[in-house]
Structure 1
Amino acid sequence: MALVPASARTWLWHEHAAVPLTDAPPVVTHLAWPPHSRSRPLAALVRTAARLAAPDTAPTP
Structure 2
Amino acid sequence: MAVFPDSARAWLWTEHTAVPLTDAPPVVTHIAWPAHSRSLALAGLIRTAARL
Same fold (TM over 0.5): yes
Give the CA deviation at 1:49: 0.8
Q: TM-score, normalised by structure 1?
A: 0.79
**Deviation sequence 1:11-57 (CA, Å, 0-9, x none):** 111111111000000000000011111111110010011111xxxxx
SS at match of 2:51: helix
Match in the other structure for 1:30: 30
Unpaired stretches in structure 1, ≥5 consecutive residues: 53-61
Identity percentage of aligned residues? 77
Match in the other structure for 1:59: none
Unpaired stretches in structure 2, ≥5 consecutive residues: none
Query: Quick one: higher RCO (CA 8 Å, sep 6+), 1 or 2?
Result: 2
Aligned residues: CA RMSD:
0.8
Q: Which runs of 4+ in 1 moved over 2 A?
A: none
- CA distance in 1 between counterparts of 2:40 and 2:3 reads 31
